[in-house]
């Protein structure tokens, strides 16, 4: 993952979000607004997945292969916390 790729995707999501704001200002059909919100949420989820994958392939591997058991535990707990936050209803 390159930061440039993430930034490009974030800017696209930002543009879509601005489009949603305009739709609301113009009193667009509610279902159309909801669909656009869902598209932005999906885009942000994709970006989050890209960042998480990078973290797993760098920080997590470094910690697991390292000699500090506290650091391993800390990084693994972060992953569990992120997972738990993402799966809360």
Q: For residue 89, give every residue at least 6 positions away whose Cβ sits within 8 Å of its Cβ, in sequence order, or none.
A: none
Confidence category of residue 25, pLDDT binned at 50, 70, 90: very high
Q: Is the pLDDT of residue 26 over 70?
A: yes
What's this model's pTM, rounded to 2 decimal places?
Answer: 0.82
Percent of all residues in the chain with a pLDDT value above 70, rounded to a whole number: 99
Cβ atoms of residues 71 and 63 within 8 Å: yes
Domain carrying residue 76: 3-87
Give the separation between CA 43 and CA 12, rounded to whole angstroms: 9
Task: Please report, for residues 20, 23, 59, the alpha-carbon distance to residue 28 in angstroms, rounded to integers and kept in the order given.
Answer: 9, 5, 44
Q: Work out the average pLDDT over 25-37.
A: 98
CATH number at residue 14: 1.20.58.1000
Total domains, the chain:
1
* Per-residue pLDDT reduced to its tens digit, 36-79: 999 999 999 999 999 999 999 998 899 989 999 999 999 999 99
């Amino acid at each position: 993952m390159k930061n440039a790729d993430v930034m490009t995707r974030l800017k696209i999501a930002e543009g879509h979000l601005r489009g949603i704001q305009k739709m609301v200002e113009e009193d667009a059909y509610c279902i159309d607004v909801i669909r656009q919100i869902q598209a932005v949420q999906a885009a942000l989820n994709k970006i989050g997945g890209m960042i998480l994958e990078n973290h797993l392939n760098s920080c997590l591997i470094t910690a697991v292969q390292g000699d500090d058991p506290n650091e391993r535990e800390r990084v693994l707990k972060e992953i569990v916390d992120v997972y738990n936050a993402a799966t809360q209803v």
